[in-house]
Chain A
């Protein structure tokens, strides 16, 4: 790896989030919410929103930088960027692309953002109702295999088969998210605790996923501001320095009709070593992890492939006690995440990772979090990850 990476050269300095809604419940259009989130992020950073000159998003976000810049009156645009691929695979990647643009000198202040109103634009959890289906989808949709849950369930089942993983391991991920959401007033599932009995008795969506193994469908928007480490020191909050970032995909993971040669994977196997090498830390140094939950089974494989436990240790490791913010070995999804805070396509995981560095999270794992990590988008192609630090040169 190159020695002159972006390590420690940039930081996340501003966080903006609209209120998070159940899908269809937002009073505002998606574009308006996106503008609101960006304004809130600029206010949080203590900068004039018009000084933002870089834009990065992911998952074919509908809210393009040119129109945002026109609506908010940006003085100029120096960088606009889209991370390819679907799902939440680009959450960390969009932040990393913003950071790279700042480090490269394309722009001075970049925003990574995501606006998503499934009530306004349609739900991810539903199949297409077109009369015919062409291309690769023709080999799956006529068999009733149409939704993301169905696309990923077979990968997870194969992983569980290969490693003897029990359903209780998936349950632990859901319990952790719901546990943490009870402390987070912003969480859509605040006030809706989940017991083991609730989980076990919940309906199947597609085996091995119960209802509570699946992310929510929500409306809202989120944004984070990235700027240089030098500028970050003069702003309102403790900077969350970007120590490491990686994105990508393993060998032929996007092969069609479920033909990826290595099938039972979250797609982080080649990414994780590159991430840790850049950050200069390892799994043992990570104080708190936000791991993208499209489905609990994806979190399970992400945690294995990020080196936190071996595949054969999953049944013992995956327990609510492991993942609790208050004393767990690996505090996980401490705001409630996609399952219980809001499915803001994982950008809400990045805001939480920053709050942990700042020391302002409702479920703060300890006063001084040194290393805060995010994994984005298991089982999609490409995926991405991010490691944030309390200091730029840890």
Chain B
């Protein structure tokens, strides 16, 4: 995919938010495992129906459009536009006591049926955020976590 760069490891302090937030895991039934595994190799996958080509996010057990269970994950470019956003000032978790403010964005992916993904907007947490502006996916590795995981984050497009 384009527009990605490798972030430093946990030890280098390159994470957007402080350590200690819950680590992501697939559904107990295994749903979403492909997505989290692809993140580790810095590939952005989105669920897609092979019967009717509908993109869907978050992952579901069947296609919400045609009800087929022939679902797969497809690689996407990781370029999108900010659909909405928020800047949090109240630490909703003990790990965030030293981490506010921070920005969460909802990103719409034009090349994946306008599905939306949630992530942090990298950069100055007090920056002006403009709905409609272009962003691109960045992979944030948490290699020291047990087990390790990788989050998709977003930065302003070049």
Question: A201 near B: Cβ within 8 Å?
Answer: no
Does B88 lie within 8 Å of A142, measured CB to CB?
no
Set of chain A residues within 8 Å of B93, measured between Cβ atoms: 126-129, 144, 146
B87 CB contact (under 8 Å) in A127, A134, A206, A263: A206
B89 CB contact (under 8 Å) in A132, A145, A206: A206
Set of chain A residues within 8 Å of B87, measured between Cβ atoms: 204, 206-207
B125 to chain A, nearest CB (A): 11
**Cα separation A144 to B99 with both chains bound (whole Å):** 10
In chain B, residues 133-151, which have Cβ atoms closer than 8 Å to a Cβ of chain A? Answer: 149, 151
Question: B64 near A: Cβ within 8 Å?
Answer: yes
Q: Mark A132-167, 1 if CB is under 8 A from B, else 0.
A: 111110111111111101100111011001000000
B57 CB contact (under 8 Å) in A130, A158, A259: A259
Does A150 lie within 8 Å of B84, measured CB to CB?
no
Question: A125 near B: Cβ within 8 Å?
Answer: yes
Does B92 lie within 8 Å of A135, measured CB to CB?
no
Set of chain B residues within 8 Å of A128, measured between Cβ atoms: 22, 93
A126-B93, A258-B116, A259-B58 known; A142-B84 Cβ under 8 A:
no
**Cα separation A134 to B26 with both chains bound (whole Å):** 5
Set of chain B residues within 8 Å of A203, measured between Cβ atoms: 89-90
Question: A252 near B: Cβ within 8 Å?
Answer: yes
**Cα separation A368 to B82 with both chains bound (whole Å):** 50
Does A142 lie within 8 Å of B23, measured CB to CB?
yes
**Cα separation A344 to B111 with both chains bound (whole Å):** 44
Question: B21 near A: Cβ within 8 Å?
Answer: yes
B36 to chain A, nearest CB (A): 8
Does B94 lie within 8 Å of A129, measured CB to CB?
yes
Does A263 lie within 8 Å of B84, measured CB to CB?
yes
In chain B, residues 50-95, which have Cβ atoms closer than 8 Å to a Cβ of chain A? Answer: 56-58, 60, 64, 83-90, 92-94
Chain B: CB-nearest residue to A208: B86
**Cα separation A153 to B92 with both chains bound (whole Å):** 14
In chain B, residues 95-123, which have Cβ atoms closer than 8 Å to a Cβ of chain A? Answer: 96, 99, 101-102, 104, 106, 115-120
A141 to chain B, nearest CB (A): 5
Chain A: CB-nearest residue to B88: A206
Set of chain B residues within 8 Å of A153, measured between Cβ atoms: 86
In chain B, residues 118-132, which have Cβ atoms closer than 8 Å to a Cβ of chain A? Answer: 118-120, 131
Q: Which of A128, A129, A138, A149 has most B Cβ within 10 Å?
A: A138
Set of chain A residues within 8 Å of B90, measured between Cβ atoms: 125, 147, 149, 203-206
Question: B17 near A: Cβ within 8 Å?
Answer: yes
Does B84 lie within 8 Å of A158, measured CB to CB?
yes
Count residues of chain A with CB under 8 A from any CB of chain B: 43
Does B84 lie within 8 Å of A155, measured CB to CB?
yes
A144-B92, A263-B83 known; A131-B22 Cβ under 8 A:
yes
Set of chain A residues within 8 Å of B27, measured between Cβ atoms: 134-135
A10 to chain B, nearest CB (A): 37
Set of chain A residues within 8 Å of B28, measured between Cβ atoms: 134-135
Set of chain B residues within 8 Å of A158, measured between Cβ atoms: 83-84, 106, 131
Q: Which of B57, B83, B92, B104 has most A Cβ within 10 Å?
A: B92
A363 to chain B, nearest CB (A): 30
Chain A: CB-nearest residue to B151: A142
Question: A255 near B: Cβ within 8 Å?
Answer: yes
B138 to chain A, nearest CB (A): 13
Chain A: CB-nearest residue to B64: A252
**Cα separation A126 to B115 with both chains bound (whole Å):** 28
A188 to chain B, nearest CB (A): 20
Chain B: CB-nearest residue to A161: B131
Set of chain B residues within 8 Å of A257, measured between Cβ atoms: 57-58, 116-118
Does B86 lie within 8 Å of A154, measured CB to CB?
yes
Set of chain A residues within 8 Å of B25, measured between Cβ atoms: 132-134, 138
Q: Measuring CB to CB, which residues of chain B are less than 8 angstroms from any residue of chain A?
A: 17, 21-28, 31-32, 36, 56-58, 60, 64, 83-90, 92-94, 96, 99, 101-102, 104, 106, 115-120, 131, 149, 151
A-B contact pairs, 23 of them (CB 8 A): A129-B93, A130-B22, A131-B23, A132-B22, A134-B26, A134-B28, A138-B36, A139-B117, A140-B118, A141-B24, A144-B92, A144-B104, A145-B118, A147-B92, A154-B84, A155-B84, A161-B131, A204-B90, A255-B64, A256-B57, A257-B116, A259-B57, A263-B116
Q: 14 new A-B pairs (CB below 8 Å) besides A125-B90, A206-B88, A263-B84?
A: A125-B92, A128-B93, A133-B25, A134-B28, A135-B32, A145-B88, A145-B104, A204-B89, A206-B86, A208-B86, A255-B58, A256-B58, A258-B106, A259-B116
The 3 closest A-B pairs by CB, nearest first: A138-B24, A256-B58, A133-B22
